[in-house]
Amino acid sequence: MGIRRRLTKQIMLGDVPVGGCAPISVQTMTKTDTRDVNATVSQIHELEELGCDIIRVAVPDEEAAEALKEIKKQISIPLVADIHFDYRLALLAIKNGVDGLRINPGNIGNQERVRAVVRAASERGIPIRIGVNSGSLPPDILGKYGRTAAGLVESALSHVKLLEKENYYNIKISVKAPDVAMMIEAYRILADRVEYPLHLGVTEAGGGLSGTIKSAIGIGTLLAEGIGDTIRVSLTGPPHEEVKAGLEILRILGLRPGGVDLISCPTCGRCRIDLMSIAREVERRLPPTRHDLKVAVMGCTVNGPGEAREADVGIAGGKGCGLLFKKGKLVRKVPEEELVDALITEIDKILEERENNNAGNSSADTDTSRSSG
């Protein structure tokens, strides 16, 4: 049985819908200096290529806010400006074409300033994300609730009220914490209290294995309960790792079609090839794809051929060599050192075939619709 998603209000970030029945989007933040337009744009292009749906950039000063204009021109996914405290930067970011803002209205001074931001955002139909983190809760909330899930939610709702006071409802909310249990609880409470779409994330999750597992548990648990409309995995590492982890979380939960399901065995005493290096290399070289593809990398011929046959393409190790299978059929025996190349070549071929089939189908569709008038 699939996951039943909680129905939220839908907002638009550029042409990407968030909430309602929209697919759950994956987003990340650039890690370049936003003022360096070339570096930032080139990082965004790489992330777009991987399947990132929405990109956010830090806007710490006026120069960064000015750079947004050029960045926006050169990219095709929606651009969100991340702003703290300075409402003038928010106004400048809006003027320079961003598709969304992340700003907490309670931190920008007074209601006049909130009104100015809301007016500018409304004119351009730009949503605002209220992003509350457990590390920066205000003293009044800390005094009343402590650093707790309830405190995170109350803080977020106090910002929401400031926007609603201006009749502004184009809102998305996040309540992040490095403590996974606290983050899960906060989103559950929030999901019961508002209909706004929710942006999920475990903040300051760390890096590598630990950070990825924390994010997968925090984000994955909520998604499995139907909570969450867009996700960001935060890792101390390059942003493409965040996007890959985000896409993988969605794919594993069956919330996003496409991508490669890589099956590989744990290896054991029967294995006569260096399967760990082969599996690592295959994983590193797997191309991003919108098609579903199952790839098997198996250590020996005991269980290997069975799994490899089930997959679209797979290998089963022998002694210093491997058997290559495609769509259930043995293709050939390949020397160990050529196994990765052989597998990736087959994967590329299958994906190309599927692309061509798709293109064929859609032109046939167009022809049919024309002929049927």
Q: Which residues bind ligand SF4 (CB under 6 A)?
A: 265-268, 270-271, 298-300, 302-304
Toward ligand SF4, which CB reaches closer, 201 or 299? Answer: 299
Toward ligand SF4, which CB reaches closer, 44 or 308? Answer: 308
Residue 41, helix vs strand vs coil: helix
Toward ligand SF4, which CB reaches closer, 142 or 276? Answer: 276
Q: Which residue is nearest to ligand SF4 (CB)?
A: 299
Task: Establish how many alpha carbons lie within 13 A of residue 167's alpha carbon, considering only the half-sphere containing its beta carbon.
Answer: 2
Toward ligand SF4, which CB reaches closer, 218 or 304? Answer: 304
CB–CB of 162/117 below 8 Å? Answer: no
Q: Chain-centre distance of CA 247, in angstroms?
A: 6
CB of residue 286 to ligand SF4, shortest distance in Å: 20
Q: Which long-range contacts (CB under 8 A, 24 or more apart) does 92-96 make?
A: 92/62, 92/65, 92/66, 92/68, 93/59, 93/65, 93/68, 94/120, 94/121, 94/124, 94/126, 95/120, 96/65, 96/66, 96/68, 96/69, 96/72
CB of residue 264 to ligand SF4, shortest distance in Å: 8
Toward ligand SF4, which CB reaches closer, 82 or 307? Answer: 307
CB of residue 281 to ligand SF4, shortest distance in Å: 17
CB of residue 265 to ligand SF4, shortest distance in Å: 3
CB of residue 283 to ligand SF4, shortest distance in Å: 16
| Token pair recorded at residue 32 | 């370049």
CB of residue 300 to ligand SF4, shortest distance in Å: 3
Q: Is 125 exposed, middle or buried (0-12, 13-18, 19+ CB in 10 A)?
A: exposed
Could you tell me whether strands 313-317 and 321-326 are parallel, antiparallel, or unpaired per DSSP bridges?
antiparallel
DSSP bridge partners of 17: 12
CB of residue 331 to ligand SF4, shortest distance in Å: 19
| Residue among 65, 58, 51, 100 nearest 79 (CA) | 100
Instruction: List the helix and strand counts (H, then E) for the chain.
Output: 12, 15
Residue 135 makes CB contacts below 8 A (sequence gap 6+) with 177, 178, 203, 204
Toward ligand SF4, which CB reaches closer, 127 or 299? Answer: 299
Toward ligand SF4, which CB reaches closer, 206 or 318? Answer: 318
CB of residue 294 to ligand SF4, shortest distance in Å: 16
Toward ligand SF4, which CB reaches closer, 201 or 317? Answer: 317
